[in-house]
Structure 1
Amino acid sequence: MRPRRPRLVPVTAARRAVLGPPALSGAGLSASPVLDLRVLWMAVAGGEPPAGPTGGRRDPSPEELEQVRALVALAQTGDSEAFGRLYERYVDVVYRYIYVRVGAVHTAQDLTSETFMKALRALPGFTWQGKDIAAWFVTIARNVVVDHTKSSRFRLEVATADMRDADTEVDAPDGEVLDRLRDQRLLQAVSQLKPEQAECVTLRFVQGLSLAETAEVMGKKENAVKQLQLRAVRALQRALEGEDL
């Protein structure tokens, strides 16, 4: 489900230095994405939530940021391969976000494709700010989902049927089945939060965005996001009180 790409630009030594070798494999969108809930469980269990990226994400190194900046600059000139590299770098975070929002694989695939088509059209007007552009892509994805649902309300509709089907596998280890059931219960609790609280903890602890990135996507100040996060985690603690965290 790759977006239509702009015209090809001739390969030069400078472009090879920026793009490097071709990717070994493309990003596939054929199945439900893996949702890593360990950081969210830690927050609910009373751990101190980190300020930076969570959920397995890390701040990109200066070298990686320079690579992204160069890819953006090339893509803005109509370089299809450069945009393809940006797609491969950010498609997972976009796809996970949309999948959690809509709860259906095929819809998430379609909306992910639409997100990157809109990003492609918007890229000429993008101004590099010296930071990772994951939040920029997720902001576009957020608007695509809003347009799709015809509502600005955040609705967490995780496809729990996938988890239930997996739990019936006879060769699944008992511990893995229990972890899936536990994660399902946590996602159900998140779905019962107020819409902004649900979106906040999803962006922070499932998507792995930093406080600053979450604030950018939600159009809020960082302090407001901190308060939303605190209230959401406390609400989850109350909802899961007495359960084994």
Structure 2
Amino acid sequence: MGDQELWDAAVTGDAEAFGELFGRHHDAVYNYCFRRVASWSVAEDLVSAVFLEAWRTRRRLVLDTGSLLPWLIGVATRVTHRHRRSGTRYDALLRRIPAGPPEPELAETVAAKIDDERRMADVLAAIAGLPKRERDVIAVCVFGELDYASAAIALGVPVGTVRSRLSRARRRLAALVPPVPLSSNR
């Protein structure tokens, strides 16, 4: 069966006839679109738009050449032009939007996370020698960033107990960690 007979059937709503036309001309339209946009995935989207347009306008089109392909290539040309124009408008819009802060490089992000993990492991090793109640106060006040009153609620102890435990923990940690020498820049 030729394009004309399949098209006449598709015009009346015969989806199988339209599917036959799709199978017959898909590759040609797909390759044409790829050659216009240089992207296989974009070309696939454009082919979908071309055949959707063909189905949508099927009742208005009268084939006079006997082949649907020239008309499909014409539709593909218009679809690729629309795609290019919308891409140009999108790019112009992006240029008008102020740039955000630069994204850190992946290697920098990974290195920072590794450094954070090492520092946190050092902190946990330092507080591991403290009694559990002092570790808990350090955790809720420093890690959880709670004030004394909130820490007291979280731990179920009076505010004064939080203050004294935190004070003892700080003294013990100060004795464990040597002071960092300050350098002078003269």
Task: Provide TM-score, normalisation by structure 2.
Answer: 0.44
Name which structure has the greater RCO, CA cutoff 8 Å, separation 6+: 1
